Amino acid sequence: MIGRRFKFRLNLAMKEIKKISSGILSRQYKILKIGVRSGRKLLKSKPGSVKEAISDVLESEVHRIVNELGVMKGSLMKVGQFLALYSDSIISPELQKVLSQLENKSMYLRWDEIKKNIPEEFFDKLIIEEKPIAAASLGQVHRATFDGVDIVLKIQYKGVKKAINSDIRILKYILKLTDFVPKDIDLKPFFEEVKEMLKQETDYIQEAKNTKKFKELIKDSKDFYVPEVYEDFSNSTIITSEYISGVSLREVDHLDISQEDRNRLGMALFNLFFTEIYEWGLMQTDPNAANYLLMQDEGRWKVCLIDFGATKEISPYLQGMYKKLIGCIVSHDFDGFVDTMFEYKYLSEDKRDSYDIDLLKNYVAIVSDPFRDEEYDWEKSEIPGRVLSMAPKVMKEISISSPPKEIVFIDRKIGGVFFLLKILKAKFNPNDVVDLWFKEGLGVHNETNE
Residue 43's contacts (CB-CB under 8 Å, 6 or more residues apart) are none
Between CA 73 and CA 95 the distance in angstroms is 18
* Amino acid 233: pLDDT: 97
Where does the pLDDT of residue 445 fall: very low under 50, low under 70, confident under 90, or very high at 90 and above?
A: very low
Q: Where are the beta strands (DSSP E) in 259-388?
A: 282-284, 292-297, 300-305, 311-313, 376-377
Least confident of 182-196, 246-260, 285-299, 379-393: 182-196
* Amino acid 298: pLDDT: 87
> How far is Cα of residue 169 from the mean position of the Cα atoms in its chain?
21
Q: Name the residue with higher pLDDT: 263 or 412.
A: 263
**Cβ atoms within 10 A of the Cβ of 92, count?**
17
Strand partners, 144: 128, 151
Where does the pLDDT of residue 119 fall: very low under 50, low under 70, confident under 90, or very high at 90 and above?
A: very high
* Amino acid 68: pLDDT: 54
Question: What residue segments make up the domains of the chain, in order of their start?
Answer: 20-109+162-201
DSSP notation for 167-216? HHHHHHHHHHHHT-S-TTS--HHHHHHHHHHHHHHT-HHHHHHHHHHHHH
* Amino acid 400: pLDDT: 56
Mean pLDDT of all residues in 38-50:
48
pLDDT digits (tens, 9 = 90+) for 320-379: 888 899 989 999 999 999 999 888 877 888 888 888 888 888 888 988 999 988 999 999
pLDDT digits (tens, 9 = 90+) for 203-229: 999 999 999 999 999 999 999 999 999
* Amino acid 446: pLDDT: 39
Between CA 159 and CA 164 the distance in angstroms is 9
Where does the pLDDT of residue 11 fall: very low under 50, low under 70, confident under 90, or very high at 90 and above?
A: very low
DSSP notation for 62-88? HHHHHHHHHHH-HHHHHHHHHHHTTHH
Instruction: Tell me what percent of the residues of the chain surpass a pLDDT of 90.
Output: 37
- pLDDT over 90 at 130, yes or no: yes
Q: Name the residue with higher pLDDT: 436 or 150.
A: 150
One-letter amino acid of 47: P
* Amino acid 23: pLDDT: 53
* Amino acid 345: pLDDT: 78
CB 103 within 8 A of CB 84: yes
- pLDDT over 50 at 9, yes or no: no
* Amino acid 25: pLDDT: 53
* Amino acid 273: pLDDT: 95
Where does the pLDDT of residue 286 fall: very low under 50, low under 70, confident under 90, or very high at 90 and above?
A: confident
* Amino acid 353: pLDDT: 85
One-letter amino acid of 195: K
Work out the burial of residue 48: count CB atoms within 10 Å of its CB; fewer than 13 is exposed, 13-18 middle, 19 or more buried.
exposed
Mean pLDDT (the chain) is: 77
**The pTM is what?**
0.78
Mean pLDDT of all residues in 289-303:
92
- Of 82-91, 124-133, 414-423, the range with the highest mean pLDDT is 124-133
* Amino acid 49: pLDDT: 46
Tell me which residue of 349, 343, 354, 297 sits closest to 320, measured CA to CA: 343
* Amino acid 83: pLDDT: 55
